[in-house]
Each structure stands twice: as C-alpha cells, then as structure tokens.
Amino acid sequence: MFTELKIRDKVDAEEVAQNAIMTVARKYPTIEFEVSFAAWAHKVLQNEILKYYRSQGYRGELFVSAEADAFPQSIWSPDPDLKRHLMNCMRKLCEANGRYARVLNLKYQGYEATEICRKLKVTAENFYVILSRARSMLKACLDNGDFR
C-alpha cells in the first residue's frame, strides 16, 4: 500500500516492495539495530523506492506524502525557534527525570512498546504511565516554558 502511494504503476510498486523484502531478509541476521526493526525495514523500503526513481531518471522531490498537501508547508519544515524550544524542553525533562526523556526518545525513534519495556525492564502498564507523564511534562514545558 505504501509503495503503491509512492509509485503509481502497480507492477513496479510490487517489484520495488519485493526487492525491499529480499533486502530485509538478506540483511536481517547480520544487522545490529540502532532503531526498531519496523523503522529499519521502512527505511529499506524508502531506499528501494529512491533507487527506483533514480533508475527512471527522476530528479524532483520524491517523498511528499499525501498529508503534505493537506497541511501548510510550515508544519513540514519546523521553525528553528520551535525546534530550539523543543530541545530545551527535552533537556529540562532529562534533568528532571531521565527515564521520562528516554521513553520519549525511544518512542520517537520508532521502537514498539514491547521493545521499550524490555529495554527499560518495566511492565507495559508502567510504560504507559511513564509515557503519559512524560508527554504531559513536555507539553507543559512547551506551553509554559517549565513543568509547573
């Protein structure tokens, strides 16, 4: 489905997806993951799509999602001040509670809840409590500049 959205020709889309699956199957046993398996496999698929477009001689903007048309461009290229503010809030969150910051970071990287629970040695219920509190603290910091 994702490939068909990026490549309009159904036959080419299937071939690109199959190439990505073969790459995942071939490299999976030897790879050490820095991100979750799902994020890594998605990146493999994106690389296969990119190879397809390059083989077709395409030089334009490749990965424009369907949602990109529905939202203003400013959402997809964040304001540098907003990015700086977010990083400051993440630093404050890390200082206040490193576990909260780590959960947000792992979730952002694409790790599944079960993987995060295993890494942090917490139960699923505890993970969701930590995630909820971390998101609340981050939102409070973004809104007010502090957690209080």
Distance CA 10, CA 104 (A): 37
How far separated are the first and last CA of the chain, in Å rounded?
44
pLDDT digits (tens, 9 = 90+) for 61-108: 544 444 444 434 444 455 778 788 888 888 898 889 989 989 988 888
Cβ atoms of 113 and 58 closer than 8 Å: no
Asked whether the whole model's pTM tops 0.75, one would answer: no
* Fold of the domain spanning 78-144: Arc Repressor Mutant, subunit A (1.10.10)
**Which residue spans of the chain are classified as CATH 1.10.10?**
78-144
